[in-house]
Amino acid sequence: MSWTDERVELLKKMWGEGQSASQIAKELGGVTRNAVIGKVHRLGLSNRTGGGGTAKPAPKEKPAAKPAAKPAPAPEPAAEAEAPAKPTGPMRRPIIPAGQPLPPQPSANEISPEALASVREVEKKAKKITLMELTERTCKWPIGDPATDDFWFCGLAVQPGKPYCKAHVGVAFQPMSSRRDRRR
């Protein structure tokens, strides 16, 4: 189905009359409700309240009509800096705003040398299978860069109830006590 000029004009007419996207889709035929909604947004018709552009200026005028109302004063920066230093409830992970760098993550340096040596030995014996060859019985540990041709999965037999072989389970699932000790 393509959006011909006639179909677009009918869409605009029905949308302006207040018809729902489902009703428009039914009338046009061969198009879904979501396709109608997408086309409406691409055409810039999404505002139906107040007959076109009259609904947008109204919110701009309301704040100007009440100049006497003053917003609450913002707290001083010094007061804000002191507040986080006094935790009042249970400890929670901080929320990281978009665009901010992530805090340091556990690195391979924190994995025991024995586990790393075991992984290196196992990867020499790995079956080197592709994504399409993975089954519930094959180790799903990814090795290499997925953007390159030299990317594969371990493919050895998994441990019961785990997605990885014994060596990769040792790296992926670390005992709770060692993680708790690292936080201190």
Instruction: Please report whether residue 24 resides in a domain.
Output: yes
Residues in contact with 172: Cβ distance below 8 Å, sequence separation at least 6, in sequence order: 141, 164
Other beta carbons within 10 angstroms of residue 14's beta carbon come to: 18
Domains held by the chain: number? 2
Instruction: Please report whether residue 30 resides in a domain.
Output: yes
Q: Determine contact, residues 21/46, Cβ cutoff 8 Å.
A: no
Instruction: Please report whether residue 124 resides in a domain.
Output: yes
Structure tokens at 48: 């139906």
Instruction: Please report whether residue 15 resides in a domain.
Output: yes
Structural domain span for residue 21: 5-43
Instruction: Please report whether residue 56 resides in a domain.
Output: no
Tell me, yes or no, if the pTM score tops 0.75: no
Instruction: Provide mean pLDDT across the span 125-151.
Output: 90
Q: What is the pLDDT of residues 52-106, one digit of tens each?
A: 444 344 444 445 555 555 666 655 555 444 444 555 555 555 566 666 665 555 5
pLDDT above 70 covers a percentage of the chain that reads 58
